[in-house]
Amino acid sequence: MKSEQFDSTIEQWLTYQSSVRGRLRLALLERGLLPHIPKSPCDVLDVGGGLGELASVLAGMGHRVTLADYSKDMLDRARIRLDPSLIRLQHLDLAAANNLPADSLDVIICHNVLEYVPDVWAALHHLQMALRPGGLLSVAFGNARHMPLQAAILHGDPSRARRELMTGNAESRNIFGTQTKVLDPDTVLLLLHSCGFNSLQTNGIRCVSDLMSRSHTDIDANYAALLELESDLMTIPAYSFIGRFVQIIAQRHM
């Protein structure tokens, strides 16, 4: 996906971020990440960090944070709302991120970016090289295992569900109006291990919300109850591997 396509759809992104599902995604990713973040100040890179919601939380905790994004327009929007003394901004294409300084970071956040890169292993390798030994990586991605459930339960299409289940060929239409690939959690775990990471935690993000009618999940009054339910489900393996997104917390080998 070209940078111009991201730039032209920022308004859709902002609308999504303020929706119940968008707020659930952010809150659950934060809940999955923060228990693993070091207490002492460290160097953090948020790849594809958008307007800096998570970057702001980490900067507020005293960490040295760089927000990187592929979209220059998104960075311009972030520049307006973020304190430049707390968060540095950087234009970055993860597909060509081999120029990140080696052994320079303690934490890298890469949420819903891997779906857009042509070579996931190469992207993970670049991130691994940029981390210091023992450094932390949080990746999140659209989950291929979720899509057959959505086809069967939400759309009532068992034929499509079975086709996606048997072939593993599922795509998801994203908020930018294009088709994007979804990834299998076991495949991503294998790629992480082959790049020199140990996986610490796997979280399901929105395990059930995306299988419910929008008439229920788009109601603000249901947000608090959905957040607590999803928080309970996200670390239970039977549910975490079928979430709409999967978050994996991994550590670079010492």
Run of H or E residues at 91 = strand 87-91
What's the domain range around 229? 3-144+172-252
**How does pLDDT run along the chain (254 residues), one tens digit per residue?**
455 555 557 778 788 888 999 999 999 999 999 999 999 999 999 999 989 999 999 999 999 999 999 888 889 999 999 998 999 999 998 877 777 899 999 999 999 999 989 999 999 999 999 999 999 999 999 999 999 999 999 989 999 999 988 887 776 655 555 677 899 999 999 999 999 999 999 999 999 999 998 777 778 889 999 999 999 999 999 999 999 999 999 999 98
Answer yes or no: are the C-beta atoms of 140 and 207 closer than 8 Å: no
* 8 within some domain: yes
- Alpha-helical (H) ranges within the chain are 3-7, 10-18, 20-33, 53-60, 72-81, 120-130, 146-149, 158-167, 185-194, 214-217, 223-233, 237-240
* 59 within some domain: yes
Number of structural domains in the chain = 1
* 163 within some domain: no
Rounded to 10°, the helix 20-33/10-18 angle is 80
pTM for this prediction: 0.92
pLDDT for the residue numbered 13: 76
Domain CATH for 72: 3.40.50.150
* 235 within some domain: yes
- Interatomic CA distance for residues 187 and 204, integer angstroms: 16
* 204 within some domain: yes
* 53 within some domain: yes
Q: b/e for 20-46, b at 16 or more Cβ within 10 A?
A: bbbbbbbbbbebbbeeebeeeebbbbb
